[in-house]
Amino acid sequence: MSKTKNISFVTPYLSGTKWLELHLASIRKFHLHADIVISAPDESARKIVERFGGRYFDNNRDYFQAIAFLFETAKHDTIVLSDCDTVLFAKIDYLAAKLKDFDLVGIEERIRHATKDRWFRFAPGYTDLTFIIFSRAKARANNPSWPHFPPFTPTPKNQNNEDHYTFCELMSKHYYLRPYTTTKYGLGNLIRDGDKNILWHQWFGSWEKRASFISEREREDNPYKNMAELIAAESRFLADYPQLDFSQVKKAFE
């Protein structure tokens, strides 16, 4: 059996069918026979998922409940949890193989804003759940609350404090992928391992149901000034794909 067949790709879907199609197509491009599981709050994306040979579950659960369900529903011990607004650019078998020496592969929360001179996410030593690879057996052994997340205690430091940081706290040895930015595609990140392009993540790709995060009046914690700016950046990416312009990328982790 190939290594790919021993990996489960799991994704909690909220909204954004264009991103979901790219997400699924990119997985199938590099992992033709991998297990794919999607959890969604309704039936809206079932046909898309099944077209790509994925398993679809209509689960009216909140974000963390959906992830707990996915962890238990995956067929294999090696799990890739990724957002539906991520697009793969490479096979990730070799990253999964790093679990022999590491507990988790992910993106460290040291991510500078694409258009502003400040950090967008800053929490050294932590990973988001945007894209992580881990062993279910090891995560279960380290987590007395499995498959749910134990409570996260925010640190008093000047950093982001996301509830799901508790997951990476359970896994002490991390292998980090690095984020890059390009203003052409707005608030998104090209994720690399050294010089190798691994994936793209478009922040707020599920804006259709998360528009409350964006207001017409810019605030420090808003990623865009308004919805038009967000949609324009997203449209440029979708129009260019797969011939994306990464000629002006900059490090976002320094």
**pLDDT tens, position by position, 129-167:** 999 999 999 999 999 889 888 877 777 667 888 888 888
**pLDDT tens, position by position, 115-130:** 888 898 999 999 999 9
Residue 56 forms part of a structural domain:
yes
Question: What value does the mean pLDDT take over residues 31-58?
Answer: 94
Paired strand residues for 197: 192
Residue 69 forms part of a structural domain:
yes
Residue 220 forms part of a structural domain:
no
Distance CA 61, CA 86 (A): 21
Q: How many domains does the chain have?
A: 1
User: Among residues 16, 14, 4, 8, which one has the least CA distance to residue 237?
Assistant: 16
Residue 72 forms part of a structural domain:
yes
Report phi then psi at 167, rounded to 5: -65, -45
**pLDDT tens, position by position, 195-220:** 999 999 998 766 665 555 555 445 45
Contacts (Cβ under 8 Å, ≥6 apart) of 20: 13, 38, 45, 48, 49, 84
Domain that holds residue 51: 4-179
Residue 24 forms part of a structural domain:
yes
Residue 218 forms part of a structural domain:
no
CATH number of the domain encompassing residue 174: 3.90.550.10
Residue 135 forms part of a structural domain:
yes
Report phi then psi at 206, rounded to 5: -100, 35
Paired strand residues for 188: 202
pTM for the structure as a whole: 0.91
Distance CA 174, CA 134 (A): 10
> What sections of the chain are H helices per DSSP?
17-30, 46-51, 63-73, 93-96, 136-142, 165-169, 207-210, 227-240
